[in-house]
Structure 1
């Protein structure tokens, strides 16, 4: 789901740096993980809007 006002690639980069590979792996099921790794889907596509907002807010608080 797109997040208004953000470039999806920038959001993906921020989420990936915040979570790391192990954190991403915990949040994505096998099918989602495979799609993400194959660049068929972005984290913006796979994570829900509330989780993206929460993770980005947590990143700003650091």
Structure 2
């Protein structure tokens, strides 16, 4: 998944750091975890909502 304004390698490193403090099973299925362990990028494995959650971006809009 391409995220405008972010270098994919930098973003992947940041996501890895953030996942150290969290339960990876909350974000990755067993299959995704295996793909990650085999070298696939978290940027490719995580949903946009999960990435926003990890980065602390608020996805809700105030009306």
TM-score clears 0.5 = yes
User: Normalising by structure 2, what TM-score?
Assistant: 0.70
Larger RCO (CA within 8 A; separation ≥ 6): 1
Q: Report the alpha carbon displacement of residue 24 of structure 1 after superposing the two structures with TM.
A: 2.1
Bigger share in helix = 1
Structure 2 runs not aligned, ≥5 long: 58-63
Deviations 1:8-32 (A, max 9, x none): 1111111111121752233111111
TM-score when normalising by structure 1? 0.71
The 4+ residue runs of structure 1 with deviation greater than 6 A are none
- For 2:37 and 2:48, how far apart are their aligned partners in 1? 20
Aligned length: 57
Aligned to 1:27: 27
Question: What is the RMSD computed on CA atoms of the aligned residues?
Answer: 1.9
